[in-house]
Structure 1
Amino acid sequence: MMKTETASAGLDLPPDARIGIIAGGGSLPVEVAAGSAGQGYPPFIVLMEGEADRLPELCRYEHETLALEAIGSLVPLLKHRRITHLVLAGEIKRRPRLTHLRPSLGLLAVIPLVVMALARGDDGLLKVLARGLEARGIKVIGAHEIVPDLVVGEGVLTKAAPQKSDRRDIEAGFAAAKAIGALDIGQAAIAVGGRTIALEGIEGTAGLLDRAKLLRGHGRIAGKTRGVLVKCAKPGQELRADLPSIGPQTVEAAHAAGLAGIAVEAGRSLILESPATLSRANELGLFIVGVAAAEPSDG
């Protein structure tokens, strides 16, 4: 086994650094923006049109809206705003429609990269995008480097703790989540009674939990059977973007699906809106645990 790379704890920024945030949906862009501003680096926010959904909190900073199909103008925009460091934060639910891309000199340079990345899947797209930006002088950094407190540590984070049967579910869920992660399909699985009963697909974790809720409602999962949602980084995960995360909505949905708790990969996962997430888990009696998981070596 080789040592698994973990999200680094913080970042030393030069005094003249200028941080930009590509903001998708959810609370992560808000937390990154607040963390950046709190360190004396007021961010510039690129609001992804139709994706960013926490506009009142994001629009208090300098910002500009950008359509996915106008991605070719991203580099000129960042250069114009003198951005030196860029964070990709939040969920982007759809891909740009290549037939609707707006022509630009910047786009002509990145179209081959985008097409190649789309063929490789989500994580491939993130890696190629990061390399393309850095080749143009903009350093891509992870949300966890701006707000290291978001990274889940190892151990039980809630009042409730996993039982022996839950540990079997966690082991089964991790194995399944790593397997689909290797195929770049998803980052999560649900295990009940020591076996995996549902895998995350394109619908994301919310859709996965909805399916588990339906299965329980239809009697496919015994009413009193416990179960665990497991989330972990993909093998070879691009740690600067798309780290697995949980938040208050995850806790609510896991409870609605009748699960006993949530296990996430320690050091390579994020917990968003942490006080609210842990408080709600405690109110509902769910456990949240960070579990170390090493990746197998290629040899």
Structure 2
Amino acid sequence: MARVDGAKLAIIAGTGVLPGLLAKSLEGGYLLAELEGFPAAVPGAEPLRFRIERLVPFLDHLVDCGITRVVFAGAIRRPRIEPELFDPRTAQLVPRLLGAMQAGDDAALRAVIAIFEEWDLEVVGADAIAPALVPEAGVLCGSPSEADAADAAQAARIVAGLGVLDLGQGAVVAQGLCLAAETLPGTDAMLDFAALHQGLKPNPKGARGVFYKAPKPEQDRRIDLPVIGPETVTRAAAAGLAGIAWEAGGVMLLDRAAVVAAAEAAGLFLWSRA
């Protein structure tokens, strides 16, 4: 189990590089836990694995280990539930969790946070552990044009509308038209869709388009804060876009140097938009 003696923080890890980045930034030790089926990419770590069907024993174990704070990091999909594996106490949470899951991702995440807090576990955001991952307002590379700025503004309005419906955190807009919006399949699927349909832009020689990302308007930012990594840049370039913009203070860059280098190589701008 990845833990330093005296650790008070647990990383509840999903897939991707974020759990490893947080682990590197922690000096006082941590306990690493992962949901079974979603391995954490933390080199050399042996995580504590748990299942949703045994959530209450897992929470009890965290408290017994002296954990007082938890941070959620990394991607997970909705796990497959096996009813026969529920312990009696966790089974009592099922109606509450299922109701929240049917209401949407944001409602489900709020329900998870509330349950952890009932065990006196403080939920903190990944940006609170590694604030350097969140860029301040400004252009990191490239130079967005007036047309790009207009497309980014339109995309921001669309993402705000999607967020109210608890649908997604991103949209692609070119020449004022929405080419793609993020839904359950996620950002990569949205950008792949935009790449397939980039020929729909009214003016082939006009603005190439912008991918914009932001948290949902009412989401709890301690969990599921949007992220952008080098792969995002690669897919945005494949979609023929001019750049990537996001809400300043609301998005984490995974490996900023690599993201900027990839954007510069592809001729894309990166804009942390206030």
Q: Does the pair score TM above 0.5?
A: yes
Q: Hey, what does 2:73 align to over in structure 1?
A: 89
Partner of 1:220: 200
Asked whether the equivalents of residues 53 and 87 of structure 2 are also in contact (C-alpha less than 8 Å), the reply is no
Aligned to 1:129: 112
Quickly say closer, same or farther: Cα 1:172–1:17, change in 2 above 3 A: same
**2:130 aligns with one of 147, 160, 179:** 147
CA distance in 2, matches of 1:139, 1:127: 13
Q: Residue 118 of structure 1 aligns with which residue?
A: 101
Does the 8 Å contact 2:125/2:221 carry over to 1?
Answer: yes
Distance, in Å, in 1 between the alignment partners of 2:16 and 2:273 is 24
Secondary structure of 1:157 counterpart: strand
**Which SS does the other structure have where 2:245 is aligned?**
strand
Is 2:30 the partner of 1:43? yes
Q: Verify the 8 A CA contact 2:53 2:90 in the aligned structure 1.
A: no
Between the two structures, name the one with larger relative contact order (CA 8 Å, sep ≥ 6).
Answer: 1
Which segment is superposed worse, 111-120 or 173-182? 111-120
Q: Give the drift of 1:232.
A: 0.7
Match of 1:210 in 2: 192
Deviation at 1:17, TM superposition (A): 5.4
- Residue 166 of structure 2 is aligned to residue 184 of structure 1: yes
Instruction: Note if 1:63 corresponds to 2:67.
Output: no
Structure 2 segments unaligned to the other structure (5+ residues): none
For residues 44-93 of structure 1, the C-alpha deviation after alignment (integer angstroms, 9 at most, x for no partner) is: 11122222352xxx252452122344434321231233211101111112
Q: Which residue of 1 aligns with 2:269?
A: 287
- Give the counterpart letter for 1:253 in structure 2: R
Q: Which residue of 2 aligns with 1:9?
A: none
Query: C-alpha distance in 2, partners of 1:101/1:291?
Result: 48
Distance in 2 (CA, whole Å) between partners of 1:89 and 1:230 is 22
1:265 is matched with: 247
2:178 aligned partner: 196
Whichever residue aligns with residue 220 of structure 1, its letter is L
Counterpart of 2:143 in structure 1 is: 161
Any stretches of 5+ residues in structure 1 without a counterpart?
A: 1-14, 293-299
Contact conserved, 1:17 with 1:84, CA < 8 A, in 2? no
Query: Residue 227 of structure 1: CA displacement?
Result: 0.5
Displacement of 1:223 in angstroms is 5.0
Distance 2:71 2:61 in 1: 15
Q: Distance in 1 between matches of 2:55 and 2:172?
A: 35
Aligned to 2:94, what secondary structure does the other structure show?
helix
SS at match of 2:85: coil
Superposition map of 1:1-16 within 5 A: none
CA contact (8 A) 2:36 2:49 kept: yes
Q: Structure 1 residue 107 and structure 2 residue 90: aligned?
A: yes
Report percent identity of matched pairs: 36
Residue deviations 1:225-262 (CA, integer Å, cap 9, x gap): 41100001101111101011101000000001100100
Q: Distance in 2 between matches of 1:207 and 1:69?
A: 30
Which amino acid in the other structure matches residue 91 of structure 2? Answer: L
SS for the counterpart of 2:107 is helix
Query: 1:21 aligned to 11, 16, 27, which one?
Result: 11
Task: Give 1:237-252 correspondences, 5 Å limit.
Answer: 237-252=219-234
Residues 127-164 of structure 1: CA distance to partner in whole angstroms, max 9, x if unpaired?
Answer: 11111111111111110010001112111011x11101
**CA distance in structure 2 between the partners assigned to 1:30 and 1:101 by the alignment:** 33
- Structure 2 residue identity aligned to 1:21: I
Number of positions where the alignment pairs a residue of Structure 1 with one of Structure 2:
268
Question: What SS does the corresponding residue of 1:252 show, helix, strand or coil?
Answer: helix
